[in-house]
Amino acid sequence: MSSAVSDVAESRSRICDEFVTITATDSAVAQCYLAENDWEMERALESFFEADMERVFEVEDSPERDGNIEAKKQDDSSAVDCIDLTGDQPACSTGSSTADISQKPEDKNENKLSLLTWNVDGLDTNNIQERARGLCSYIVLYTPDVVFLQELIPPYIHYLKKRAVSYSFVEGGEDGYFTGMMLKKSRVKLQGSEIVPYPTTQMMRNLLIAHVTFKGHELCLMTSHFESCKGHAAERMKQLSLVMQRMRDAPDNLTVLFGGDTNLRDTEVAKVGLPPDVYDVWERLGKREHCRYTWDTKSNTNKNVQYISRCRFDRLYVRPATREGVPSLAAENMALVGQEKLDCGRYTSDHWGIYCSLSPPV
């Protein structure tokens, strides 16, 4: 074998091994995709993930399921409060990444905890392949330590598990649509989790709780998707009361973080009230207008509605650790993400996501 041929064989073997590592497949699959794409890694990966997405997101034709999805979408989009205030929208650019999320290097303060919460609108199956890739691209961009996700469906979480091998997953359900958490394995250690049902929910909603450690801090993480639609305010306030009770009753050596799609209106929060030691992150950081509206039909055209509705449905609450001598994490900044249109002309979700970082005391 000539030296040139040997070099080519060695190079292709190395590329093949990289493909297997990224895609969690075997060498036969790797050779097939690489050979079809002239042994160009980026093209081969793009071809693999596009084919894989088509298989993973194959939706069975079920009249009952379609009816439930359509009813839910109609409820969520037609019964929101209308608030028409203008404000600057922050720019956030992201590119498509075909490599695994774990390839993103750490580039932040090691002692800060970063968190992303997002209703990914999994019940909207239009362009769901590209929108799921969009979510992965944002996770690549921000490398959050903790990700709270709402409105997941089984194929969506299945795809994320294949892509995000550097994260562990905690799920709030298996059927229909549900919530989930992603925890960066190298930084956040899962100690245990539980699902707390909402006794009177009519929409399959619950509270997902995970107990974790992060850089010596003991944390209680919570996410939920509260009852949707204006007409379900009473149930939504019951759910908020349950969450606040859980936050208040958590051991005083824990920092408790809750985030999710609450569907809350400010009047509802005022009626329930927050415990003295729990704060709303957006309010604590100065109520900046460009971070106010996470549901914004003025800017987000995914639902293609004719009216303007701007609401702060997605929220973050923190209860710091209060035990003497125990350091706590405090919210430092937040931003809205997902405001870049994808190639399909739509956004990653009909909600903007919230990115937040929390720091220990100086």
Catalytic sites, residue numbers: 261
Q: Smallest Cα–Cα separation from 49: which of 104, 97, 17?
A: 97
- The torsion defined by the Cα of 326, 262, 224 and 210, in degrees rounded to 10, comes to -10
Other Cβ atoms less than 10 A from the Cβ of 58: the count is 8
Q: Are 20 and 34 in contact (CB under 8 A)?
A: no
Q: Which tokens in the block code for residue 241?
A: 């009361």
Distance between alpha carbon 25 and the CA centroid of its chain, in Å?
26
* 3-state class (DSSP) for residue 88: coil
CB neighbour list of residue 294: distance below 8 Å, 6 or more residues apart? 311, 312, 313, 314, 336, 351, 352, 353, 354
- The torsion defined by the Cα of 106, 107, 110 and 115, in degrees rounded to 10, comes to -80
CB neighbour list of residue 59: distance below 8 Å, 6 or more residues apart? 125, 155
Q: Which tokens in the block code for residue 52?
A: 């894989």
Q: Are 263 and 327 in contact (CB under 8 A)?
A: no
- The torsion defined by the Cα of 322, 207, 356 and 254, in degrees rounded to 10, comes to 20
E-assigned strand segments in 146-254: 146-152, 167-171, 178-184, 188-197, 206-214, 217-225
Residue type, 102: S
Looking at 143-277, list the stretches that DSSP marks H as alpha helix, in order from N- to C-terminal side: 154-163, 233-249, 266-272
